[in-house]
């Protein structure tokens, strides 16, 4: 290579900044709750292995997302904030917050007024800021229930707003939006009993799949054994498969679960693993790629061990999760559903956050601020119990990115580093 061309090439390489991996949506790039990060902390406390802590404007159960040099997350203020006077419904505000990814410093905060009348949540502000945002290189997308879906640029300027339904629920809204090509897919089960796909550039509705009842979860695009993409949506008594490009119905499967579906699914090798409900059958595995009613042909197993809130992870032929109420950690064989272990964590306080698999470990964040670190193998081993309690609820799902672990409470975002 001539010297002049070599120098120009090296100059170009220096000019291009190193691009870190991103975590641009709920439960990571593919929605599986799995991170490739290594060297994460196993133990921590309020003054141990805390790189930084950023106080937030208000509480929320949404998780932070990481893209480029930014962190984005949502919260709410003004109405039914735990520990404060209830206030008036008209005072309710949602907020999108932009933080510096390295330092946690707040760069800006955007306020969104509620579309009244709003939901009258039954406890602790469930649903006011439970939907994790998603982002691409140009925009950040937020879902605030009946108030709508919003797109912002990186300066906080609102670009568009779309309505996906006006119904409300006592438990609020929780499903997180995600991108599929040029589509923003939103589970609006609570707002209109629909899954809605919007044009990410304009907010214009592209398709709508109706009849999605009592589904608080975030759907997932699963690749079938034939290499085709299917949008899988667990709902009351059914799991549905759709073409994510058109919204056309492909298949449905009976769950035998007599309750609503809150946990988000995980998938591996074309098989979707779903949890939900409080009693009776509370979990199942269904093979994607079918047509019509596939209950007899594609449902592989059901189980009476599950969770009503927390989402599972898949690892090396096993599915792992923690029961939201009892604090019991489970490991099941993915091919049969047989329980490998069932171990109750000492003094559980309830778990709403979805599980995180990273660095050969599973992180379960309890509502009281304690995180239980369990070995990711089919023999139970509790590696550590770590406490960050700050007199608020820890309901957001943890994130592992940049060699760090991020945990969000009702008051702060913690950055943990070895």
SS3 annotation, 222-275: EECCCCCEEEEEEECCEEEEECCCCCCEEEEEECCCCCCECCCCEEECCEEEEE
Beta bridge partners of 412: 55
Residue 389 in tokens = 């309690």
Q: Give the residue, 7 or 193, on which the prediction is more confident.
A: 193
Give the pLDDT confidence score for residue 20 in this predicted structure: 61
Residue 383 in tokens = 């590696």
Min mean pLDDT across 45-54, 75-84, 269-278, 291-300 is at 75-84
Give the pLDDT confidence score for residue 70 in this predicted structure: 98
Residue among 361, 359, 386, 382 at smallest CA distance from 371:
386
Give the C-alpha separation, 69 to 135, whole Å.
12
The residue count for the chain: 418
Confidence class of residue 18 from pLDDT cuts 50, 70 and 90?
very low
Ordered by where they begin, the domains of the chain are: 19-416 (2.130.10.10)
Mean predicted lDDT score pLDDT of the chain: 93
Determine the Cα angle at 406 with ends 354 and 55, to 5°: 115
Residue among 127, 325, 288, 137 at smallest CA distance from 216:
127
The model's pTM is 0.94
Give the C-alpha separation, 117 to 262, whole Å.
24
Average pLDDT (273-286) is 97
Residue among 228, 274, 230, 270 at smallest CA distance from 254:
274
Give how far Cα 142 sits from Cα of 1, 92, 104, 152, 170, Å: 49, 16, 20, 8, 21
pLDDT digits (tens, 9 = 90+) for 208-248: 999 999 999 999 999 999 999 999 999 999 999 999 999 99
Residue among 38, 142, 23 at smallest CA distance from 94:
142
Residue among 3, 29, 33 at smallest CA distance from 315:
33
19 pLDDT above the threshold of 60:
no
Residue among 213, 244, 65, 48 at smallest CA distance from 141:
65
Confidence class of residue 316 from pLDDT cuts 50, 70 and 90?
very high
Cis peptide before 117 (omega within 30 of 0): yes
Give the pLDDT confidence score for residue 122 in this predicted structure: 57
């Amino acid at each position: 290579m001539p010297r002049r061309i070599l120098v120009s090439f090296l100059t170009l390489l220096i000019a291009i900044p190193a691009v870190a991996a991103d975590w641009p949506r709920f439960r990571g790039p593919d929605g599986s709750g799995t991170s490739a990060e290594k060297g994460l902390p196993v133990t921590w406390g309020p003054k141990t292995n805390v790189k930084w802590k950023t106080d937030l404007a208000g509480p929320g159960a949404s998780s932070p997302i990481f893209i480029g040099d930014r962190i984005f997350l949502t919260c709410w203020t003004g109405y039914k904030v735990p520990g404060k006077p209830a206030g008036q419904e008209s005072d309710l505000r949602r907020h999108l917050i932009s933080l510096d990814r390295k330092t946690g410093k707040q760069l800006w905060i955007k306020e969104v007024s509620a579309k009244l009348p709003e939901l009258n949540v039954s406890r602790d502000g469930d649903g006011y800021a439970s939907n994790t945002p998603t982002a691409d290189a140009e925009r950040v997308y937020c879902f605030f229930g009946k108030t709508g879906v919003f797109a912002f640029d990186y300066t906080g300027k609102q670009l568009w707003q779309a309505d996906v339904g006006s119904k409300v629920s006592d438990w609020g809204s929780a499903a997180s939006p995600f991108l599929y090509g040029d589509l923003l897919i939103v589970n609006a089960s609570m707002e209109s009993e629909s899954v809605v796909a919007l044009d990410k550039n304009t907010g214009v509705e592209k398709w709508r799949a109706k009849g999605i009842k009592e589904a608080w979860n975030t759907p997932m695009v699963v690749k079938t054994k034939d290499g085709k993409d299917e949008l899988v949506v667990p709902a009351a008594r059914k799991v549905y498969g759709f073409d994510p490009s058109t919204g056309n119905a492909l298949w449905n499967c009976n769950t035998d679960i007599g309750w609503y579906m809150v946990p988000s699914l995980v998938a591996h090798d074309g098989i979707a693993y779903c949890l939900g409900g409080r009693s009776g059958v509370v979990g199942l595995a269904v093979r994607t790629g079918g047509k019509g009613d596939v209950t007899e042909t594609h449902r592989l197993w059901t189980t009476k061990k599950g969770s009503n809130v927390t989402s599972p992870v898949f690892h090396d032929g096993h599915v792992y999760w923690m029961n939201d109420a009892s604090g019991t950690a489970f490991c099941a064989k993915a091919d049969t559903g047989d329980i490998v272990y069932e171990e109750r964590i000492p003094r559980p306080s309830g778990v709403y956050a979805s599980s995180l698999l990273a660095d050969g470990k599973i992180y379960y964040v309890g509502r009281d601020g304690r995180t239980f670190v369990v070995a990711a193998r089919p023999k139970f081993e509790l590696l550590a119990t770590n406490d960050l309690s700050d007199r608020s609820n820890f309901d957001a799902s943890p994130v592992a990115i940049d060699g760090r672990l991020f945990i969000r409470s009702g008051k702060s975002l913690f950055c943990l580093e070895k």
